[in-house]
């Protein structure tokens, strides 16, 4: 049995923090670990630490519904997520780690002529970006998803935008893979180490205060997802982020029944089947600001209503459990990867519902920014000041992209 195997080693070390680093990354979620990995892999000779207040995989990176895709509509997002999907496609090889990345295809259903037009426009943008998109009619969808409710009069299925390279991945394996890869390249991953203050002198970052004592640093990256407002406030910043709960649900394990990822176009609902057999699904955020990692029943009811409308067969499955994570919602639904007003202090936040698929590119681009002090070409529109200048990237109408 598992307990009998005494030869297994931890995937990463558990060092005590040093008194000083070149670069400190605050937050050991997917984005923080990916940033540390890309920094250590590309910009060697730097002493790097990731400071995580809890444990690796305990945040949103281990709580999401694992959907990975590159089907955005607007410039800014489309090239970034295209880059991210390419990094997903080589991640397991790069990390030598099985993240169970499964390109099983995503079908975004549409239910009206207007939605079909929007899907066609989005599909064209995806193809122009170099990614894949196929517009399916109703019979094309029926071939792939015969169990949907095609007789539904209120929300008839008109067709779907089919993104074959989209799919899922094992979320916590992604965190573990990046953690191990960063550790192997010399990054100190320090768990149970909460950052409680940011030391700034004459407009220049000098280090951080933590639950394990002060640590000096030349550069500091804030990558704390749902806690972005709180950590940025330590540097005197008020960021345009609201933290809200997003719930997810899983049924008991079933035999293979759902081969793809499916999203419902007339409500917030998306679903796939995990390799263990559970139907994994989610919907919209609980519509109030909160730092609780659990949601409330009205949203649960709303999500399950949508599930029953789309695929009545789900009613036979038993719901096993549900959970929540804290979303860092930005005003336009797009992220921020930018410098701050403090020299040496950088901000990565605003991933909304959709930051899991961004993990590889976000780390790559944030590492680039921190190391070179200039934005990576595919992330140059993710400026913090766009909310002041009016250059928001409001992708939702075109894509439904903030739904998962
Ligand atoms: P986290 O894992 O939350 O990492 C942030 C870390 O910062 C945490 O570990 C936290 O403990 C740490 N931290 C906070 N404050 C401090 C401090 N003061 N000091 C030190 N450490 C600190 N995205 C998709 O692309 N596809 C999906 O299908 C999808 N579904 C989702 C479903 C749910 C239910 C949820 C909750 C999210 C979903 N997302 C999805 C979104 C995605 O999970 C997040 O956008 C992404 O994980 C956020 O980045 P992260 O992994 O770095 O966050």
pTM: 0.97
Query: What is the 3-class SS of 23-48, one letter each residue?
Result: EEEECCCHHHHHHHHHHHHHCCCCCE
Ligand 1, atom 26, lies closest to the CA of 67
What's the chain's Rg over C-alpha atoms?
A: 21
CB 69 near ligand 1, within 6 Å: no
What is the ipTM score, two decimals?
0.99
Ligand 1, atom 37, lies closest to the CA of 64
Identify which of 28, 30, 38, 64 to mutate to test ligand 1's pocket (most ligand atoms within 8 A of the CB).
64
Distance CA 288, CA 308 (A): 25
Residues of the chain whose pLDDT is less than 70? Answer: 1-3, 396-404
Identify which of 17, 29, 330, 363 to mutate to test ligand 1's pocket (most ligand atoms within 8 A of the CB).
29
CB 333 near ligand 1, within 6 Å: no
For the chain, the distance separating the N- and C-terminal CA atoms, rounded to the nearest angstrom, is 38
Predicted local distance difference test score (pLDDT) of residue 404: 39
Q: What ligand 1 atom has the least distance to the C-alpha of 32? A: 52
Predicted local distance difference test score (pLDDT) of residue 256: 95
CB 271 near ligand 1, within 6 Å: no
CB 401 near ligand 1, within 6 Å: no
CB 335 near ligand 1, within 6 Å: no
User: Angle at CA 152, nearest 5°, toward 150 and 158?
Assistant: 55
CB 26 near ligand 1, within 6 Å: yes
CB 345 near ligand 1, within 6 Å: no
Q: What ligand 1 atom has the least distance to the C-alpha of 194? A: 19
Q: What ligand 1 atom has the least distance to the C-alpha of 234? A: 18
**Residues 6+ positions from 37 with CB-CB distance below 8 Å:** 95, 178, 181, 182, 185, 187, 363
Predicted local distance difference test score (pLDDT) of residue 237: 98
List C-alpha distances in Å: 389 to 246, 385, 393: 29, 6, 12
Chain-centroid distance of CA 349 in Å reads 11
Tell me if residue 148 falls in helix, strand or coil. coil
The Å distance, Cα 61 to ligand 1 centre, comes to 5
The Å distance, Cα 328 to ligand 1 centre, comes to 8
CB 283 near ligand 1, within 6 Å: no
Q: Tally the residues of the chain.
A: 404
Q: What ligand 1 atom has the least distance to the C-alpha of 356? A: 25
Dihedral of the alpha carbons of 108, 109, 115, 117, in degrees to the nearest 10: 70
- Phi and psi at 104, nearest 5°, equal -90, 0
CB 171 near ligand 1, within 6 Å: no
Query: What pLDDT, in 10s, does the model give residues 321-371?
Result: 999 999 999 999 999 999 999 999 999 999 998 999 999 999 999 999 999
């Amino acid at each position: 049995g598992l307990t009998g195997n005494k030869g297994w080693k931890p995937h990463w070390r558990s060092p005590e923090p040093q008194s000083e680093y070149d670069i400190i990354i605050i937050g050991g979620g997917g984005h923080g670990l990916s940033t540390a990995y890309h920094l250590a892999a590309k910009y060697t000779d730097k002493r790097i630490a990731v400071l995580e207040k809890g444990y690796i995989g305990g945040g949103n990176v281990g709580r999401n519904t694992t959907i990975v895709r590159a089907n955005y509509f607007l410039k800014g997002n489309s090239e970034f997520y295209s880059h991210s999907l390419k990094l997903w496609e080589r991640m397991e090889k790069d990390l030598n780690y099985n993240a169970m990345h499964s390109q099983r295809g995503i079908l975004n259903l549409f239910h009206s002529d207007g939605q079909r037009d929007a899907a066609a426009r989005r599909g064209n943008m995806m193809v122009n970006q170099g990614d894949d998109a196929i517009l399916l009619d109703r019979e094309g969808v029926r071939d792939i998803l015969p169990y949907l409710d095609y007789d539904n009069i209120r929300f008839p299925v008109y067709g779907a935008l089919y993104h074959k390279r989209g799919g899922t991945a094992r979320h916590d394996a992604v965190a573990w893979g990046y953690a191990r890869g960063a550790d192997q390249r010399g990054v100190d991953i320090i768990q149970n180490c909460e950052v409680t203050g940011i030391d700034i002198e004459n407009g220049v970052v000098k280090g951080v205060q933590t639950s394990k004592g002060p640590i000096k640093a030349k550069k500091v990256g804030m990558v704390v997802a749902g806690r972005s407002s709180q950590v940025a406030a330590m540097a005197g910043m008020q960021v345009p982020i609201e933290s809200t709960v997003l719930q997810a649900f899983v049924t008991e394990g079933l035999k293979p029944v759902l081969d793809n990822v499916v999203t419902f176009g007339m409500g917030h609902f998306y679903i796939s089947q995990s390799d263990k057999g559970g139907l994994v699904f989610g919907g919209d955020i609980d519509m109030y600001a909160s730092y609780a990692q659990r949601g409330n029943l009205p949203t649960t009811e709303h999500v399950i209503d949508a599930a029953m409308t789309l695929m009545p067969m789900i009613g036979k499955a038993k719901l096993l459990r549900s959970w929540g994570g804290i979303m860092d919602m930005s005003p336009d639904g797009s992220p921020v990867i930018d410098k701050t007003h403090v020299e040496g202090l950088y901000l990565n936040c605003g991933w909304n519902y959709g930051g899991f698929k961004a993990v590889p590119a976000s780390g790559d681009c944030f590492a680039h920014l921190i190391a070179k002090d200039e934005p990576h070409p595919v992330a140059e529109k993710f400026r913090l000041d766009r909310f002041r200048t009016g250059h928001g990237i409001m992708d939702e109408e075109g894509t439904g992209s903030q739904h998962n």
